[in-house]
Amino acid sequence: MKVLSINMKSATDINFSEAWELFISKGNDEAFSMIYFNHYDLLYYIGLKYSSDIQIIEDSIQNIFTYLLKNRNKLRHVTNVRGYLLKSFRRQLFLDLKKQKKHFLPNEWPENQFDYFNSTEQNITEKEELNELQQALRKSLGKLTARQQEIIYLRFDCDLSYEEISTILEISVDSCYKSVYRSIKAIKVDVEQMLVKSKNMLLMFISLLKRNFS
């Protein structure tokens, strides 16, 4: 069996758990602000994957931090602050999105609307510049379920640890890892096939190698 080097815990979380402790025990504003400023962008980016409605995303962020402030005495110590915040934020966002629209068909549930390459972040010219491999990759990602895409996104774009992802999505670390492994394998096979269909694989790699090794 191959052994991959995997860090289960992210080093940055250590400081946050200290700040968290300071906030829940003493109501320290600086600690609270530090947690807020250091997580805002991440929450916002993840929100954008579910909705292009910036107003709702901002409201959801504000709602969870207001909740934390008001319920400070009820909060418990958490070791994984980032995971905890993301979990609460997702819940809040889905709640807020559901409030906005009363009736949903099952495939319209906000949970199922994860869009890896959200259109609000990309402009058209960029799409044109994508090489064939990147285009194939996007197609292939689109074939995964919303949940699989989200796990890949949290792992590879947000650089979260498996432990954090398992906290956020409330699944085991093991199934989280398995999902990442299967998705990556599927993407790789899929992309390879698409490229073979379109043109000689060999040519593709020659151009790839040139780009990466020159």
Partner 1 sequence: MNIDHYKSFSTEDFILDDNFSKLTKGQSVDGITLDQFKALLPEKNKEIAFAIEIRNGLTTKKKATSTERKAEMLSEILHSRKHMFIRPIFRYAAAVLLVIGLGISSLWLFNSHNDIEDFASSTSIKSQNAELILADGKRIEIENEQSKIEYATNGSSVSLNDSSKLEQSEPVSGKCFNQVIVPFGKRSNILLSDGSRVWLNSGSKIVYPPVFNDVDREVFLEGEAYFEIAKNENKSFYVRTSNFRVKVLGTKFNVQAYKDEDEQSTVLLEGKVNIAKNEKLFSKGNELSPNQKATFSTSKNNLTITDVENAENYIAWIYGYLPVENQDIVSLSKRISRYYNVDIEVKAKNVNLRFSGKLDLKDDPKRILDALSTISKLKYKEQGDKFVIYD
Does residue number 125 form part of the binding site for partner 1 (CB under 8 A)?
A: no
Q: How far is the CB of 3 from partner 1 (least distance, A)?
A: 7
Query: Strand ranges (DSSP E) for the chain?
Result: none
Q: If you write DSSP's letter for every residue of 66-128 in order, what string do you get?
A: HHHHHTGGG----S-HHHHHHHHHHHHHHHHHHHH-S---GGG-GGG---TT-GGG--HHHHH
Does residue number 174 form part of the binding site for partner 1 (CB under 8 A)?
A: no
Does residue number 52 form part of the binding site for partner 1 (CB under 8 A)?
A: no
Q: How far is the CB of 103 from partner 1 (least distance, A)?
A: 30
- Mutual orientation of helices 81-100 and 13-26 as an angle, nearest 10°? 70
Q: How far is the CB of 32 from partner 1 (least distance, A)?
A: 8
Does residue number 187 form part of the binding site for partner 1 (CB under 8 A)?
A: yes
Dihedral of alpha carbons 15, 17, 18, 23, sign? positive
Does residue number 214 form part of the binding site for partner 1 (CB under 8 A)?
A: no
The DSSP letter of residue 143 is T
Instruction: Name which position in 12, 122, 175, 198 contacts partner 1 (CB under 8 A).
Output: 122
Q: How far is the CB of 110 from partner 1 (least distance, A)?
A: 19
Nearer to partner 1, 37 or 103 (CB): 37
Rounded Cα–Cα distance for residues 161 and 70 (Å): 29
Rounded Cα–Cα distance for residues 54 and 48 (Å): 7
Letters for 2-21 (x = contact with partner 1 by CB under 8 A, - = none) are xxxxxx--------------
Does residue number 191 form part of the binding site for partner 1 (CB under 8 A)?
A: yes
Instruction: Name which position in 17, 58, 171, 173 contacts partner 1 (CB under 8 A).
Output: 58
User: Residues 167, 83: contact at Cβ < 8 Å?
Assistant: yes
Q: Nearest-CA neighbor of 165 among 52, 7, 18, 50?
A: 7
Rounded Cα–Cα distance for residues 97 and 102 (Å): 9
Nearer to partner 1, 62 or 100 (CB): 62
Q: Contact residues for partner 1 (CB under 8 A)?
A: 2-7, 29-30, 33, 36-37, 40-41, 44-45, 58, 61-62, 65-66, 69-70, 116-118, 121-122, 126, 133-134, 137-138, 141, 152-153, 156-157, 159, 180-181, 184-185, 187-188, 191, 205, 208-209, 211-213
